């Protein structure tokens, strides 16, 4: 009888010690919350801002040609992180793919394959800080090739200045390649001074108010570098451009008979940068 009572008591204790339904799930959930809190604390002070693809921009500025750099345009070229908009452990991130497609992806403050990355859509985001300069790194795993590729990004702005996510890349191209004051002469022999600003404004030449260095080459004829004046207006003007040191030349554009190729035609302006 004593042995029976002992067995019953032991069974009761064992049953009371077993995990209740949901205990394992709660434990995992708490662990995830703890990791998210740690990731938020680690990444939040670092990743805020508007970021542009480093190796693409570097080649554009080195060659003075978005056309020459088009082999580096694939993937995310620009994205913006506003940490004030974090909800829980997630954040919606505006992105530009190949300077063409605008979209949004979700940033999750949850560890990727290790504790140095967090999830950005199907990719992973990390950062490096060297001599006070922060670089963000996106890692992309190709399931077909079983390879991981990475792209680096540098900060253009601390916060997104306009709604258009592509603005940051245009600004950086303008700043590094075009903007400044020029002494020029046009095809009529008229001399003038004209100024191009980082944010795409033009002053000093009648009829021109803004400019855009064409960096979205998706679906376009890709054999000339093109600058667009008075973009998206009735007086929009497109010229082929070449930049050699401080000299910027603008040519009218002519298409061949079946519009499969463009040529730089009549010289429209010759501009020499003075500052």
CATH 2.40.128-classified regions of the chain: 37-169, 179-273
pLDDT score at 147: 83
Task: Provide the pLDDT confidence category of residue 19 given band limits of 50, 70 and 90.
Answer: very low
**φ, ψ at 186 (rounded to 5°):** -100, -175
Q: Which of 62, 59, 83 is nearest to 73 (CA)?
A: 59
Contact partners, residue 99, CB within 8 Å, separation at least 6:
73, 77, 78, 166, 169, 215, 216, 217, 218
- Report pLDDT for 143: 79
Q: The domain 179-273 is classified under which CATH number: 1.10.10, 2.40.128, 3.40.50, 3.10.20?
A: 2.40.128
> Considering the chain, what is the average pLDDT of its residues?
88
Q: 184-192: list long-range contacts, CB under 8 Å, 24+ apart.
A: 184/269, 184/270, 184/271, 184/272, 185/269, 185/270, 186/268, 186/269, 187/266, 187/267, 187/268, 187/269
Give the closest residue to 173 by CA, choosing from 57, 55, 16: 57
- Classify domain 37-169 at the CATH class level: mainly beta
Per-residue pLDDT tens over the stretch 29-63? 455 556 788 899 999 999 999 999 999 999 999 99
Other C-beta atoms lying within 10 Å of the C-beta of residue 60: 26
pLDDT given at position 34: 65
Which pLDDT belongs to residue 28?
44
How does residue 5 score in pLDDT terms, banded at 50, 70 and 90?
very low
CA-atom Rg of the chain in angstroms:
28
* Residue 77 pLDDT > 90: yes
Q: How confident is the model at residue 259 (pLDDT cuts 50, 70, 90)?
A: confident
pLDDT in tens, 230-241: 999 999 999 999
pLDDT of residue 82: 97
Quick one: pLDDT band at residue 256, thresholds 50, 70, 90? confident
The fraction of the chain above a pLDDT of 70, given in percent, is 88
- Calculate mean pLDDT across residues 253-265: 85
191-195, 219-223, 226-230: least confidently modelled range: 219-223
**Is 273 a residue whose pLDDT tops 70?**
yes
With a cut of 90, say whether residue 145 has pLDDT above it: no
Give the position of tokens 């600003």. 197
158-178 residue pLDDT tens:
999 999 999 999 999 999 999
Per-residue pLDDT at 46: 96
Per-residue pLDDT at 98 exceeds 90: yes
Tokens 């190709």 sit on residue:
142
* Long-range Cβ contacts of 183-191 (<8 Å, 24+ apart): 183/271, 183/272, 183/274, 184/269, 184/270, 184/271, 184/272, 185/269, 185/270, 186/268, 186/269, 187/266, 187/267, 187/268, 187/269
């Amino acid at each position: 009888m004593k042995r029976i009572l002992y067995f019953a008591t032991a069974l009761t204790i064992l049953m009371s010690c077993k995990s209740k339904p949901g205990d394992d799930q709660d434990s995992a959930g708490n662990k995830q919350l703890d990791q998210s809190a740690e990731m938020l604390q680690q990444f939040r002070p670092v990743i805020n801002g508007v970021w542009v693809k480093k190796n693409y921009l570097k080649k554009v500025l080195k060659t003075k040609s978005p056309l020459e750099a088009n082999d580096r345009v694939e993937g995310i070229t620009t994205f913006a992180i506003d940490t004030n908009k974090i909800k829980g452990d997630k954040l919606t991130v505006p992105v530009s793919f190949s300077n063409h497609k605008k979209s949004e992806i979700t940033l999750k403050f949850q560890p990727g394959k290790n504790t140095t990355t967090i999830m950005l859509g199907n990719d992973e985001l990390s950062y490096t800080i060297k001599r006070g300069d922060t670089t963000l790194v996106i890692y992309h795993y190709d399931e077909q090739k079983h390879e991981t590729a990475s792209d680096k990004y540098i900060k253009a702005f601390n916060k997104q200045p306009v709604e258009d996510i592509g603005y940051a890349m245009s600004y950086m191209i303008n700043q590094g390649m075009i903007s400044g004051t020029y002494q020029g002469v046009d095809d009529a022999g008229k001399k003038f001074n004209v100024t191009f600003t980082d944010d795409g404004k033009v002053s000093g030449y009648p009829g021109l108010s803004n400019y855009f260095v064409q960096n979205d080459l998706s679906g376009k004829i890709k054999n000339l570098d093109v600058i667009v004046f008075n973009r998206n207006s009735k007086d929009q003007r497109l010229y082929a451009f070449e930049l050699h040191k401080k000299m910027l030349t603008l040519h009218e554009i002519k298409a061949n008979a079946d519009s499969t190729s463009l040529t730089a035609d009549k010289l429209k302006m010759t501009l020499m940068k003075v500052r």
